[in-house]
Amino acid sequence: MSLGLNIQIEFDEHISKVTGGKCTILGADIAEQSPSTKSKYTAINGQLLVGKIPETLGLPDILGKSGKSKVDLLKIDIEGGGKHFFEHKSG
């Protein structure tokens, strides 16, 4: 799971490559991603989500929307909001 994409998905592409494309990459950001980023995410078997982390898109929300029950690897780049991501309870 990669939080805080900001149209920068090199990390996500790298993880897909080193795992042989065997893991599902979940990406989330406050803003809709560009058509290019969407295309690249599709190519790595990824799923993009849009929402303000953690206010409208917390961990339970992301897991629920993706149909996943666990996360193997988590990258957070949400400008100091990482602590709040884990403390926030979804509505």
pLDDT in tens, 1-60: 666 677 778 888 999 999 998 888 888 888 899 999 999 989 998 989 898 877 788 788
Bridge partner list, 49: 28
The ranges assigned to domains in the chain are 2-87
| Cα 39 to Cα 52: distance, rounded to the nearest angstrom | 22
Q: Which amino acid is at 57?
A: L
- 11, 19, 63 from 27: Cα distances, Å: 11, 16, 11
pTM, two decimal places: 0.74
